Amino acid sequence: MSHIMPLDSQPDEAIEQLLDAAFGTDRHGRTAYRIRDGMPWLPALSFAMIDADGALIGTLQSWPVALTQADGGQMPLIMVGPVAVDPAHQKGGHGRALMDAVVAAARAQRCEPLMMIGDPEYYGRFWGFTAQGTDGWDAPGPFEKRRLLALSVDGTAVGGVGMLAPRIAVAAQ
């Protein structure tokens, strides 16, 4: 049986290999990578899917980012992704299980709103991520507006105007 574990139980090389297999080795220039450039991923909101033999077959990372407003103020957000399942194990419910885990953990922690660049047909259908409220958001690279998604985990509305960027308070630590 496969099972979920905290991602920090896994070696960095295994995580990077899986991301290369799912997204290709040219993935680092993507807009999502620029939004969280230099940030460490958050161990309490990052998960691994492990198969019966102990191999890593799925990974989900979350990052501290923020909507940076014109006055320099930052509205903190959590960026979810990449969500990656090994191509040989896709469509087996692992992506759903990893996303269930992060949304449940975020709700339990009542953390900042979650955001991501992803397919609304997947992330909206199962978890309610929506582009409503992200209309005023910009990003440091190309993106499709319909794929810029957010989910509040504590009932507060998501909105605002600004540029998505790494979270300064974390970068300064």
Ligand X SMILES: CC(C)(COP(=O)(O)OP(=O)(O)OC[C@H]1O[C@@H](n2cnc3c(N)ncnc32)[C@H](O)[C@@H]1OP(=O)(O)O)[C@@H](O)C(=O)NCCC(=O)NCCS
As given in the structure block, the two tokens for residue 117 are: 């660049």
CA distance 150 to 143: 14
Cβ at position 3, least distance to ligand X in Å: 14
Q: How many CA atoms lie within 13 A of 33 on its CB side?
A: 7
| Contact status: 118 vs ligand X (CB under 6 A) | yes
Burial of 142 (0-12, 13-18, 19+ CB in 10 A): exposed
| Contact status: 27 vs ligand X (CB under 6 A) | no
Residue ranges in 45-84 that form contacts with ligand X under rule CB under 6 A: 81-84
Strands 74-85 and 114-117: parallel
Cβ at position 15, least distance to ligand X in Å: 13
| Contact status: 96 vs ligand X (CB under 6 A) | yes
Q: Which is nearer to ligand X, 31 or 74 (CB)?
A: 31
| Contact status: 136 vs ligand X (CB under 6 A) | no
| Contact status: 167 vs ligand X (CB under 6 A) | no
| Contact status: 20 vs ligand X (CB under 6 A) | no
Q: Which is nearer to ligand X, 119 or 138 (CB)?
A: 119
How many Cβ atoms sit within 10 Å of the Cβ of residue 70?
A: 8
Identified binder of ligand X from the candidate list 30, 31, 51, 122, rule CB under 6 A: 122
69 contact partners, CB below 8 Å, separation of at least 6: 75, 160, 161, 162
As given in the structure block, the two tokens for residue 57 are: 């077959």
Residues in contact with ligand X by the rule CB under 6 A? 22-23, 81-85, 90-96, 118-119, 121-122
